[in-house]
Amino acid sequence: MTSPARPEQMHAISEQTIHTVDDVLDYARRRALYEDVPLDKPLRPNDLARLASGSITDGGIGARRAIALFENVLAPACISTDHPGYLSFIPSAPSKASLAFDVVVSASAIYGGSWMEGAGAVYAENEVLHWLGREFGLPATAGGVFVQGGTIGNLSALVTARDAARRRNAEAGRPNPARWVIACSAEAHSSIASAAEVMDVDVVTAAPDAGGRLHGDALAAVLDAHEGAVLAVVATGGTTNFGIVDDIASVAAVTKERGIWLHVDGAYGLAAMLVERMRPAFAGVELADSVIVDPHKWLFAPFDACALIYREPSLALQAHTQKAEYLDTLTGSPDWNPSDLAVQLTRRSRGLPLWFSLATHGTAQYRATIEYGIDLARRIADEIARRDGLSLVREPQLSVVVFRREGWTAADYQAWSDRLLEEQRGFVVPSSHAGEPVLRFAIISPLTTYDLLVDILDSLA
């Protein structure tokens, strides 16, 4: 018979608790220090039901059985985004330092929403945000918060932009439009349309040039057609599908002339500004009212983290600070409370793993590692251009290479992609552009090698 559960049992320091912590940390250590990260692959629901069901019971199955189930069944059914052959979507390549410190963040039970409760953590996160702000050319007074991901970062920035537009109209005695509008490129990230849906506003798009870049002249016509209704313009600092950077300088000139909020979605690509030779491609970012960049992409932090930075953080405070009696002690103080800067209240100190990795390795290491990805993309693009039957869709600008296998259909690409994963050689899923099925390499990890990419190209023959 199972002994009755005691309220304090889960939290007491007992021999069982010590073994539980040891077992979990032992697995975490082994996984973090894998020399050859397994690529792995998903299993069908019925296979997982057969292999993993029954873990939730009245009396529990114990830590040792639970961690064994995860290590041997559940984890291998998840594709490892930090595998050097994971080249789909935008990969993850967290440094070992950031992975290790993520464990510390969880073990420390820090609430990262207020200065009162997490001053040390907030200070460290702000050190990173101020460093990023300087790299992007923003004023020293800029500041922000780490949120869950680019979708939440974009939404929070656009909510702030709308609130600022409403306040400007109120001060000037102007009515608000019947429908607010967000303007962006036709190649902007899908999260912009998602944010607009949540905010119940419209999206209007301007056509990019043949290379995928949005320019100010194309944007100006759209803004003039919706005069008085545009709450923000979103420029992209590295599109997800191609890694293309908009002509942010000309976009900024158009928005400043009209007094419209400029938000730069740099979730993937803005990290390239850390490489000196890439800075000219991002001219104009220093004029933005808000920017985002995701450390869990090209800044080698674990999921999930997006750095959201405002030129004037006070505008975000006005838009996002939640009012409630139990929060009076926080909202009545002048402290820097991260939860006042985005659409969240409860928040994990998700910027700390990046802080620890930066403090450990230094910024020079980050610059060199990002530059490696840019150079490797250029090198494999040249190899693609040399091969019969393969051709580039566009020249790479950052670390995404989009190409085609001549004569292949979407079904051909999918069959090849499935076979590549089944053989555990790589994870490269088909994409599309202008209705044409294509392939793309998204290169993030410094463990991704030229030889590995060439081997994948060879498999297309």
Query: The tokens of 354 are what?
Result: 């990046």
Q: Does residue 5 fall inside a structural domain?
A: no
**Is the separation of the CB atoms in 255 and 262 below 8 Å?**
yes
Are 395 and 352 in a shared domain? no
Question: Is there a domain that residue 390 lies in?
Answer: yes
Do 356 and 392 lie in one domain? The reply is no
Do 253 and 318 have their domain in common? yes
The fraction of the chain above a pLDDT of 90, given in percent, is 91
Least confident window among 186-190, 256-260, 333-337: 333-337
Q: Taking Cα atoms as reference points, which of 304, 242, 229, 302 lies closest to residue 269?
A: 242
Containing domain of residue 403, as a range? 363-458
Residue 215 has pLDDT above 60, yes or no: yes
Both 328 and 431 in one domain: the answer is no
Judged against a pLDDT cut of 60, whether residue 2 lies above it is answered with no
324, 343, 361: which is the final residue of a domain?
Answer: 361
Least confident segment among 112-126, 317-331, 423-437:
317-331
Please give the mean pLDDT across all residues of the chain.
Answer: 95
Asked if the model's pLDDT at residue 4 lies above 90, the reply is no
| pLDDT, mean of residues 349-366 | 98
pLDDT tens, 25-76? 999 999 999 989 999 999 999 999 999 999 999 999 999 999 999 999 999 9
Tell me, yes or no, whether 177 and 258 share the same domain. yes
> For the chain, what is the HEC assignment?
CCCCCCCCCCCCCCHHHHHHHHHHHHHHHHHHCCCCCCCCCCCCHHHHHHHHCCCCCCCCCCHHHHHHHHHHHHHHHCCCCCCCCECCCCCCCCCHHHHHHHHHHHHHCCCCCCHHHHHHHHHHHHHHHHHHHHHCCCCCCCEEEEECCHHHHHHHHHHHHHHHHHHHHHHHCCCCCCCCEEEEECCCCHHHHHHHHHHCCEEEEECCCCCCCCCHHHHHHHHHHCCCCEEEEEEEECCCCCCCECCHHHHHHHHHHHCCEEEEECCCHHHHHHCHHHHHHHCCHHHCCEEEECHHHHCCCCCCCEEEEECCHHHHHHHHCCCCHHHHHHHCCCCCCHHHCCCCCCCCCCCHHHHHHHHHHCHHHHHHHHHHHHHHHHHHHHHHHHCCCEEECCCCCCCEEEEEECCCCHHHHHHHHHHHHHCCCCECCCEEECCEEEEEEECCCCCCCHHHHHHHHHCCC
Residue 322, pLDDT score: 87
Q: 8-16: which pairs have CB atoms within 8 A and are 24 or more residues apart?
A: 16/63
pLDDT surpasses 60 at 14? yes
Q: Does 234 score more than 80 pLDDT? A: yes
pLDDT tops 90 at residue 272: yes
What is the C-alpha to C-alpha distance for residues 338 and 373, in angstroms, rounded to an integer? Answer: 32
Question: What is the rounded distance in angstroms from the CA atom of residue 399 to the CA atom of residue 253?
Answer: 27
**What pLDDT shows up at residue 1?**
46
Q: What is the mean pLDDT of residues 14-24?
A: 90
**End residue of a domain, out of 361, 384, 401:** 361
Question: What is the predicted pLDDT for the residue at 423?
Answer: 97
| Residue 334 pLDDT | 64
- Please report whether residue 34 resides in a domain: yes
* Residue 442 pLDDT > 50: yes
Predicted confidence band of residue 327 (pLDDT cuts 50, 70, 90)? confident
Look at strands 400-405 and 290-293 and give their pairing: unpaired
Kindly tell me if the per-residue pLDDT of 262 is higher than 70. Answer: yes
To 10 degrees, what angle do helices 150-172 and 313-320 make?
A: 90
Residues 23 and 114 in one domain: no
Establish whether the linkage from the previous residue to 304 is cis, with ω within 30° of 0: yes
Asked if residue 58 and residue 160 are part of one domain, the reply reads no
C-alpha distances in Å from residue 140, one per residue of 309, 411, 449: 11, 52, 38
Q: Chain centroid to CA 219: how far?
A: 26
The verdict on residue 277 lying in a domain is: yes
**245 and 272 fall within a common domain:** yes
Q: What is the CATH number of the domain that holds 410?
A: 3.90.1150.170
372 and 419 housed in the same domain: yes
CB atoms within 10 A of CB 337: 25
Mean pLDDT on 319-332: 77
Predicted pLDDT of residue 5? 75
> What does the pLDDT read at residue 292?
98
- Overall average pLDDT of the 192-209 stretch: 98
Higher-confidence residue of 335 and 117: namely 117
Residue 4 lies in a domain: no
For the chain, how many structural domains are there in total?
Answer: 3
Amino acid, single-letter form, for residue 103: V
Q: Please report, for the domain that includes residue 315, its CATH number.
A: 3.40.640.10
Mean pLDDT in residue range 144-148: 97
Instruction: Based on the fold, state whether residues 68 and 130 are members of the same structural domain.
Output: no
> Per residue in 385-413, pLDDT tens?
999 999 999 999 999 999 999 999 999 99
d(CA 16, CA 18): 5
Rounded to two decimals, the pTM is: 0.95
Q: Are residues 317 and 446 located together in one domain of the fold? A: no
The reported pLDDT for the residue numbered 13 is 78
**Domain end (from 344, 361, 378):** 361
Nearest by Cα to 351 from 123, 57, 30, 50 = 123
**What is the torsional sign of CA 345, 122, 237, 436?**
negative
For the segment 289-312, what is each residue's pLDDT rounded down to a tens digit? 999 999 999 999 999 999 999 999
* 202 found inside a domain: yes
Residues 372 and 352 in one domain: no
Is there a domain that residue 382 lies in? Answer: yes
Any domain includes 31: yes
